[in-house]
Amino acid sequence: MAAFVVISAFSAAPALAATGMAHPWQFGYQKAESPVMESITSFHSMLVVIITAIVLFVLALILYSAVRFNKKANPIPSKTSHNTLIEVAWTIIPILILVVIAIPSFRLLYLEETIPDADVTVKATGYQWYWGYSYPDEGIEEFSAVMLEDNELKDGQPRLLSVDNEVVVPAGKVVRVIVTAADVIHSFAVPSFGIKVDAVPGRLNETWFQAKEPGIYYGQCSELCGQRHAYMPIAIRAVTEEQYAAWKAKAVDDLEGANATLAAELKTDRTVASLDKVAAPAGSSD
């Protein structure tokens, strides 16, 4: 395994704006950045509406029963033992509700499990306690992605999420991820992509994602795997097709050099974007 224990050029440059990560005091899901996560978010929103309606209906029944059938209003309690219409209704209606929930859930499962023709294949291997990545179809040998310690972080890099070597993929392209482990069970999870796959020694699992836009997307191991389980983050950098092609061509022989070149290009792009943003008010007055 080609291990890169030195801090990569990505760490030396200011971090690209994080597109997929959690934020302090955030409620709800991270922003959906892939087709799968968009479907998960939509399905969740539908469930919230259904569940809220059921809760309010049951609450209304409880309040109505408490008022309508209390001892004061009904000194002589009803001795009704059954009601055929009500019994049929409370059997059929829940079945219909479950069918309404089941149909989109099966579609979502099919979307998650059916991997489209992949443009890029990445193999992710879990170790105690870091991730190793390789690109089997591109000839890029396995490299390690180790969490940066606090004294290694640069401006803009999130604590406990930044790594020395990020996974680089093209934005807008289908990326197939083959997941396994070398020692104990881990779990490869990136919330903004809606993926979470167990990494099991001796077994190959797979998933896929399609990053909507360039940026950095963070995840973490999501299966308790030992003392430093909390310190094996995942960092995926999505770039343009041109940037990915240039990085890939160089990474085959010199990963560290490819990272340095890409980091320099991204830094230049950010500088130009910042200058354009500053100049925008002046240009808009013409």
The total of structural domains in the chain comes to: 2
Q: What is the pLDDT of residues 122-177, one digit of tens each?
A: 999 999 999 999 999 999 999 999 999 999 998 888 999 999 999 999 999 999 99
Alpha-carbon separation of residue 139 from 33, 62, 130, 132, 142 (angstroms): 28, 65, 21, 15, 9
pLDDT band at 193 (very low <50, low <70, confident <90, very high): very high
Do 56 and 160 fall within a single domain? no
- The phi and psi torsions of 252 (rounded to 5 degrees) equal -60, -40
Give the whole-number percent of the chain exceeding pLDDT 90.
72
189 located within any domain: yes
- The tokens describing 82, both together, are 């059954």
- The tokens describing 209, both together, are 């994602």
Instruction: Give the best-scoring range by mean pLDDT among 157-161, 187-191, 280-284.
Output: 187-191
d(CA 180, CA 188): 9
Do 150 and 236 fall within a single domain? yes
136 located within any domain: yes
pTM for the whole thing? 0.81
pLDDT band at 80 (very low <50, low <70, confident <90, very high): confident
CATH number at residue 49: 1.10.287.90
Kindly give the pairing relationship between strand 205-209 and strand 215-221: unpaired
CA-based end-to-end distance of the chain:
58
76 located within any domain: yes
Do 169 and 67 fall within a single domain? no
Domain boundary, last residue among 113, 137, 160: 113
CATH number at residue 201: 2.60.40.420
Domain boundary, last residue among 83, 113, 143: 113
286: exposed, middle or buried (C-beta count within 10 Å: 0-12, 13-18, 19+)?
exposed
d(CA 233, CA 190): 10
30 located within any domain: no
Structural domain for 233, as ranges: 9-21+117-272
Look at residue 13 in the predicted model and tell me its pLDDT: 43
